Amino acid sequence: MRPAQHRFNPNTADWSELAALPGLGATLAKRIVAYRQGRRAALADPRAVVFRRPQDLEAIRGIGPKKAATMGKMLFFSDQ
């Protein structure tokens, strides 16, 4: 697992990478990955970009505006 000072893309990171971020933990990290997989399945596109900005993470139960803003500083968003 990489140290938490690295930034991760929530569209590609696995739950263990996301869980390494301060204040996130395994439960929320697994919810992010499950949501991402569910959206991709619904879109019938396994490579769809689900999260384009920190606010998109507010769709995950347990992530509100404050946590999304804090997490946004530790994430990066790209088309892949």
Please check whether residue 5 lies inside any domain of the structure. no
Q: Which residues contact 64 (CB under 8 A, 6 or more apart)?
A: 58
> Residues with Cβ < 8 Å from 24, sequence gap 6 or more?
18, 71
Look at residue 23 in the predicted model and tell me its pLDDT: 85
The answer to whether position 38 is within a domain reads yes
How high is the pLDDT of residue 1? 43
What is the number of domains present in the chain? 1
What's the pLDDT at 55? 96
- 21: domain range? 15-72
Residue at 79 is within a domain: no
pLDDT recorded at residue 3: 47
